[in-house]
Chain A
């Protein structure tokens, strides 16, 4: 099981065991990670599950859909090069030990 390190807006780190095949958003919700609200339950409709990933793993996560790309442009926290909606990312070994930052709005 990949271990994922959520970096919270207050600087704290919350490391959780994630189940492969689930989404990163589902992993965050199950573990009550603060700052991941995910109001639309993974429909990419609300942008309240915005996370920032290290740029060097972006390509391993597959392409961003046009819809997600548009949502990120005007998410509440400003878009960064590593920005993604965590509901659109499947947990895999590529995320093992990766730091997933919750951006401050």
Chain B
């Protein structure tokens, strides 16, 4: 379809055209910005179901929760930016359905918007604890939106006992913040190590050691069977019968792509909204970007929840709507701040990859991953130079000699010129 020049969906939208973007997170905002940057002059509407104008999510679980970053500074754009760029921003607005036949979206408040191109940037939501476990108690939080954090902050001000359910990035970042505030922190993780699905065993162990050294208590290989309390949560019972006291519970048990709207519109859902390598869904007038999109790429399907993916896939979709015809070449990268650790990851490592440790002169170190002899990913643990060199090598598919990587005497400058 992308190369069918006679199909109306392949025409470049002009000044009579209307583009509607569902989702006003980083991906939705970036799509709008890049459509304008790529010369789209028609009508542009950005619809978000949250009350706040597009804002940065990553600082929510870090600097904003700590009170180091004011609410106003989370905003990605100044208020007048939307009018200046002729972007109609509709906040607090939920899209109820998509009428693909008539090419219009129906809003929950009864309104309707016609589109020539529709971009689904619906993001992901925080998975909630099952009712059988949470029992409707007060004092249980998830972490995803500004409203979530605004609700959590007063609860942390009690400086009591925090129970984190789930040892992923969100859970560990909250654990680190809470320890910094002087709270007692327990982390329950169902698998045998934190970051089990999102980092290598080597990196996870280093992060676990750091948390333990700062007084975080881990309960690994165990699940919460029930939260305790009458109205407010007072603790948790684990599967092995252990009771943990808690004043506040944060469930960091993963994100789920927001696919309800797409599913009801008849799209196949498989770990997100299926999109081709250009970002287009099965409907040639409808595109997908960001956390909710599962891109079909030569190496397999890829869905990522990260700012980098939100920005890059939004850029891709905007260009391709404007006729660029470029396939997605993802450059996966992530970071996390916990205590004084800055973890930076480039590439996607997998269980079974060979790990090479590079121990620098300072306290930092890096983990380099190889699959069938090819360099595939790097983790920098307080090692920004190692991380950036690795990221640069990944971008050109270079594969440094593992023996050289492990050699602390060999400089990064020398490593950077690897083939």
Pick the contact of B58: A32, A37, A40, A74 (CB < 8 A): A40
Residue A58 is within 8 A (CB to CB) of chain B in the complex: no
Interchain CA distance A76-B395 in the complex, whole Å? 11
The answer to whether residues A71 and B56 also contact, given A32-B33, A46-B333 and a CB cut-off of 8 A, is no
Contact of B333 with A67 in the complex, beta carbons under 8 Å: no
Pick the contact of B307: A29, A41, A71 (CB < 8 A): A41
Pick the contact of B81: A30, A71, A74, A75 (CB < 8 A): A30
- Shortest CB-to-CB span from A66 to chain B, Å, is 9
CB-nearest residue of chain B to A27:
B78
Residues of B within 8 A of A32 (CB): 33, 37, 81, 85
Residues of B within 8 A of A76 (CB): 392
Q: How large is the interface on B (under 10, 10 to 19, 20 to 34, 35 or more residues)?
A: 20 to 34
Residue B267 is within 8 A (CB to CB) of chain A in the complex: no
Residue A20 is within 8 A (CB to CB) of chain B in the complex: no
Interchain CA distance A34-B34 in the complex, whole Å? 11
Contact of A41 with B33 in the complex, beta carbons under 8 Å: no
Interchain CA distance A44-B387 in the complex, whole Å? 13
Residues of B within 8 A of A71 (CB): 384-385, 388
Residues of B within 8 A of A41 (CB): 56, 58-59, 307
Additional A-B contacts beyond A32-B33, A67-B382, A71-B384 (5; CB < 8 A): A29-B77, A30-B78, A40-B307, A43-B59, A43-B337
Q: List 19 interface pairs A-B (beta carbons < 8 Å), by A numbering.
A: A22-B73, A26-B73, A29-B77, A30-B81, A32-B33, A34-B37, A39-B311, A40-B307, A43-B337, A43-B342, A45-B337, A45-B342, A46-B335, A67-B382, A67-B384, A71-B384, A74-B385, A74-B416, A75-B388
Which residues on A are within 8 Å of B, measured CB to CB?
22, 26, 29-32, 34, 37, 39-47, 67, 70-71, 73-76
Which residues on B are within 8 Å of A, measured CB to CB?
33, 37, 56, 58-59, 62, 73, 76-78, 81, 85, 307-308, 311, 333, 335, 337, 342, 344, 382, 384-385, 388-389, 392, 412, 416
